[in-house]
């Protein structure tokens, strides 16, 4: 079955982001990407890197981050983003401590800042200047309206920041979403000052793809005309080896590495029984639609065109209010949860070099 694409054959032959082999030749499986279109995951014959190919066009990427991405009732994106607000607050508290050690003040950029929870909390705990960018029009609008943050709706590549503009860049769950990971990292390095830090969290591609492959195999055996549904719309599936090579070749040194979410990692990798079937399958073709891909270019924050904007913003505000608890905003509680979370966060030497985390966390420094 040939995935439906509107991409040119030039894109089809782009080299591997990791090893620069001429193309990713081996086709692994087809998936439904966020209910928007069918896409094919391919593998590089030389280094084993897996990625959706042909690459998405900028307009297709934008179509994936519609307003539904942040709606808790939608099947795609963050299903419980607001519910996790206090986790983001905790993360900001510990990040502020880290920033204090680097310098009393500085400039921080969060790429993929979503609704702005981390940045907003950071402004309460740190005097650093913070800024965010996100490709979702709704997210940038919400972060601006709700928290008055300095945000722009753009990709890093389109933002055209000056050289050495930031002292610290945060990229949580971002690299797996960008169109060209190598170019993205080179651009990150350009806007980071020499010696500046990049904190990057991205899924362990093997764990991320494990349940998808299992489901795809099951579906093929049952000969049903269904495809695995990728609600989180990841485009690249990195191993640690791939990432370390990419970082080094893009001019970063790795200061710290951690496996995080060990339990879910072991489940996804098949070492522990799967908790509950979370993956969904969707009929082939049914959710594919002809997209209007007339590309919208970057523009300042305005009210997004989608008529559901205000209703969704209000819904998220209600969800936030419902989740608020005084105890959970109390620093001793932060430490309690921090220690709990550390139990699921292991450096590689504990796992004897094997990587069982569902996610990887790197602290990188610009060489
Ligand atoms: Zn390769």
Query: If pLDDT is split at 50, 70 and 90, which confidence band does 70 have?
Result: confident
- The pLDDT, as a whole number, for residue 4 is 44
- Mean pLDDT, all residues of the chain: 85
- The pLDDT, as a whole number, for residue 285 is 58
Find the mean pLDDT for residues 270-296. Answer: 60
Query: If pLDDT is split at 50, 70 and 90, which confidence band does 6 have?
Result: very low
Share above pLDDT 90 across residues of the chain, in percent, rounded to a whole number: 49
Q: How far is the CA of 252 from the centre of ligand 1 (A)?
A: 20
- The pLDDT, as a whole number, for residue 10 is 40
Q: How far is the CA of 310 from the centre of ligand 1 (A)?
A: 44
Start-to-end CA span in the chain (Å): 45
Q: How far is the CA of 50 from the centre of ligand 1 (A)?
A: 8
Q: Is the pLDDT of residue 258 over 80?
A: yes
Find the mean pLDDT for residues 79-106. Answer: 88
DSSP 3-state of 337: helix
Instruction: Name the helix (H) or strand (E) containing 11.
Output: helix 9-12
Q: How far is the CA of 22 from the centre of ligand 1 (A)?
A: 8
Q: Is the pLDDT of residue 3 over 50?
A: no
Q: Would you tell me how many other CB atoms lie within 10 Å of the CB of residue 6?
A: 12
Between residues 151 and 266, the one the model is more confident about: 151
Find the mean pLDDT for residues 161-186. Answer: 96
Question: CB within 5 A of ion ligand 1: which residues?
Answer: 16, 18-19, 21, 44, 46-47, 49
The structural domains of the chain, ordered by start, are: 9-366 (3.40.50.150)
SS (H, E, C) 182-232: HHHHHHHHHHEEEEEEEEEEEECHHHHHHHHHHHHHHHHHCCCCEEEEECC
- The pLDDT, as a whole number, for residue 286 is 43
Q: Is the pLDDT of residue 5 over 70?
A: no
pLDDT tens sequence across 124-140: 999 999 999 999 889 99
Q: How far is the CA of 262 from the centre of ligand 1 (A)?
A: 27
Q: How far is the CA of 39 from the centre of ligand 1 (A)?
A: 19
- The pLDDT, as a whole number, for residue 143 is 93
Distance CA 195, CA 73 (A): 42
Between residues 191 and 265, the one the model is more confident about: 191
Find the mean pLDDT for residues 44-52. Answer: 96
Q: Is the pLDDT of residue 288 over 60?
A: no
pLDDT tens sequence across 197-248: 999 999 999 999 998 998 888 888 887 788 898 888 899 999 999 999 999 9
Share above pLDDT 70 across residues of the chain, in percent, rounded to a whole number: 87
> Tokens 């010696």 map to which residue?
195
- The pLDDT, as a whole number, for residue 72 is 75
Sheet holding 236-237, edge to edge: 236-237, 50-53, 37-43, 26-33, 226-230, 280-283
Q: How far is the CA of 49 from the centre of ligand 1 (A)?
A: 5
Task: For residue 155, give the nearest of 116, 181, 124, 118 by alpha carbon.
Answer: 181
Q: Are 236 and 51 in contact (CB under 8 A)?
A: yes
């Amino acid at each position: 079955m040939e995935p439906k694409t509107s991409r040119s054959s030039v894109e089809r032959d782009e080299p591997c982001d990791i090893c620069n082999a001429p193309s990713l030749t081996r086709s692994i499986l087809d998936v439904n990407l966020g209910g928007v279109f069918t896409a094919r995951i391919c593998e590089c014959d030389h280094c084993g890197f897996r990625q959706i190919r042909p690459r998405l066009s900028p307009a297709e990427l934008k179509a994936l981050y519609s307003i539904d991405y942040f709606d808790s009732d939608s099947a795609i994106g963050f299903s419980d983003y607001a519910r996790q607000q206090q986790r983001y607050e905790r993360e900001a508290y510990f990040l502020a401590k880290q920033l204090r050690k680097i310098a009393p003040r500085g400039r921080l950029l969060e790429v993929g800042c979503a609704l702005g929870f981390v940045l907003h909390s950071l402004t309460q705990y740190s005097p650093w200047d913070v800024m965010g960018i996100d490709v979702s029009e709704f997210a940038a609008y919400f972060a601006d309206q709700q928290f008055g943050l300095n945000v722009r709706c753009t990709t890093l590549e389109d933002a055209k920041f000056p050289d050495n503009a930031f002292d610290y860049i945060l990229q949580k769950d971002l690299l797996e979403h960008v169109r060209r990971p190598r170019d993205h990292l080179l651009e990150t390095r350009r806007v980071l000052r020499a010696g500046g830090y990049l904190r990057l969290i991205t899924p362990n591609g093997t764990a991320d793809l494990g349940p998808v492959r299992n489901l795809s195999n099951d579906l093929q055996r049952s000969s049903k005309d269904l495809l695995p549904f990728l609600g989180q719309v990841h485009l690249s599936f990195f191993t640690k080896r791939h990432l370390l090579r990419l970082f080094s070749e893009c001019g970063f040194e790795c200061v710290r590495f951690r496996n995080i979410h060990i339990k879910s990692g072991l489940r996804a990798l098949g070492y522990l029984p799967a908790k509950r079937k979370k993956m969904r399958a969707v009929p082939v073709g049914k959710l594919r639609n002809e997209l209007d891909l007339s590309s919208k270019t970057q523009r300042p924050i305005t009210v997004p065109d989608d008529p559901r904007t205000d209703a969704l913003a209000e819904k998220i505000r209600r969800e936030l209010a419902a989740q608020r608890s005084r105890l959970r905003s109390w620093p001793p509680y932060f430490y309690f949860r921090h220690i709990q979370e550390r139990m699921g966060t292991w450096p590689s030497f504990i796992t004897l070099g094997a990587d069982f985390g569902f996610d990887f966390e790197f602290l990188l420094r610009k060489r």
